[in-house]
Chains A and B, each alone.
Chain A
Amino acid sequence: MCLAVPGQIIACHGDEATVDLQGNQLKVSRVLTPEAVVGDWVLVHAGFAITQLDEAEARETWDYLQQALGDPTGDEPGGEAS
């Protein structure tokens, strides 16, 4: 019932944080995760960071975090019809 996406905090300002989601940036509230700091990964839902998470675990859990930035497809580079 809840869309939540993982991202990395790149800036904090008071109760707010800017979270980077692979080139997209959202301003969210840190009120539910007061200990999260720049560099930490958080799960974002409805404008709030709702929990912290470990980056390695995040990349393992979310398929789309495994795709390299700038890679236009999810395939290995140069993937053509086999």
Chain B
Amino acid sequence: MSMQTAGTGTQNRVVIAHGGGGELMGRLIRDHLLPPLRNERLAALTDSAVLPWSAGEVVFTTDSYVVTPLEFPGGNIGRLAVAGTVNDLAVMGATPLALSLGLILEEGLPLEVLDRVIATLAATAREAGVEIVTGDTKVIERRASAAPGGTPTEGLFINTAGVGRLRPGVRLGLERIEPGDAILVNGPIAEHGLAVMSVRNGIEFESSLRSDVAPLNGLVAALLDAGGDIKFLRDATRGGVAGVLADICDGRNLSLEIDEARVPLSATARHAAEMLGLDPLTVANEGKCVVVVAEQDAERTLRACRAHPLGRDAALIGRVVDTTPALVELMTRAGGRRVVQRPYGEELPRIC
């Protein structure tokens, strides 16, 4: 079957045959995937990519991306797919080297959507200084139409796995955290989750909020280069900052005190969260990490963070303390305290 020229109708959409391993799939890869991703390893289209390795430890991660809608203010699933996996490597103290790209396309997906996603994905990879060195493409049959008023099937799922090299001399881990350590975030929180919600069916509101999705490996490298004793890093994705704080509290059985007034939160995000009845601490981010650093190096690390474009509005938000039992507590703006817990699941916006 020959590929039709650009026009209306199914010629411009993914069809089952695109996943068949034959001519049509070859054209899909050659015309829609290789050009934006342009690198020699990928273009060779070998079964596996061969990467040079000299010394040091391999850091390896994988993540799948199923966000809907595919495109949202500030980014799309392609940017997410690179930034998310790069960040998982970066927060381990690894220099990201290469990513794999697994695509699952649904029959009916407009090719122009695919093109936009891949273009953004490629641009994000260049920004992060990583290459997509190997990939896979599958096509699934069109799913039954969504229930009326529900999110229409968007038909694009991505898996990226990433390898990196652990920076020599870096020792990051929960076990290094001690009472007295300072806690830092690199900028305003809750923007990704709220931006996605603003375009999600059933919630819709216009917003100036943009997803903060960004690869953080450059920022993390700058923080580690600054030479302070950084104990632990984690990106605050699903579950928000509260999720990471809960990880620390549960993992180390230590308490954390967070100063609500110091948590960076834009007026727009704050108002949107109020409108939806959500706690900003529990809303997802895709360009924010929580940094735990020795008390004496807190200021130095903060300065290094603020010197980087992705850390301009960084703030020291609290510290690790040795009160028992282990709880995460927020010192509220009103001068009181309350417990912060991991959210149960996807927090639905409230009305009543």
Contacts and interface: CB of A to CB of B under 8 A. Distances in A.
In the complex, A touching B (Cβ < 8 A): yes
A1 B350 CA distance: 10
B206 interface: yes
Nearest to B208: A23
Contacts of B36: none
Contact of B267 (A5, A23, A79, A80): A23
A25 B267 CA distance: 13
Q: Indicate the size class of the contact surface on chain A.
A: 20 to 34
B270 A64 contact: yes
B257 to A, nearest CB: 13
A56 interface: no
Given A46-B351, A72-B188, A73-B263, A22 B268 contact: yes
B152 interface: no
Q: Indicate the size class of the contact surface on chain B.
A: 20 to 34
Contact of A64 (B267, B299, B302, B352): B267
A63 B22 CA distance: 61
Q: Please report whether the interface of chain B is mostly helix, strand, loop or mixed according to DSSP.
A: mixed
A68 B315 CA distance: 17
Name the residue in A24, A46, A80 with the highest tally of chain B Cβ atoms < 10 Å from its Cβ. A24
Contact of B205 (A22, A24, A75): A24
Interface of A: 1-3, 5, 7, 21-26, 44-46, 63-64, 67-75, 79-81
Given A24-B268, A72-B188, 4 more contacts: A23-B207, A72-B187, A72-B313, A81-B299
Interface of B: 182, 187-188, 198, 205-209, 261-268, 270-272, 274-275, 277, 298-299, 302, 313, 315-316, 333, 350-352
14 contacts: A1-B352, A2-B352, A3-B350, A22-B271, A24-B206, A26-B206, A68-B267, A70-B267, A72-B187, A72-B188, A72-B264, A72-B266, A74-B333, A81-B316
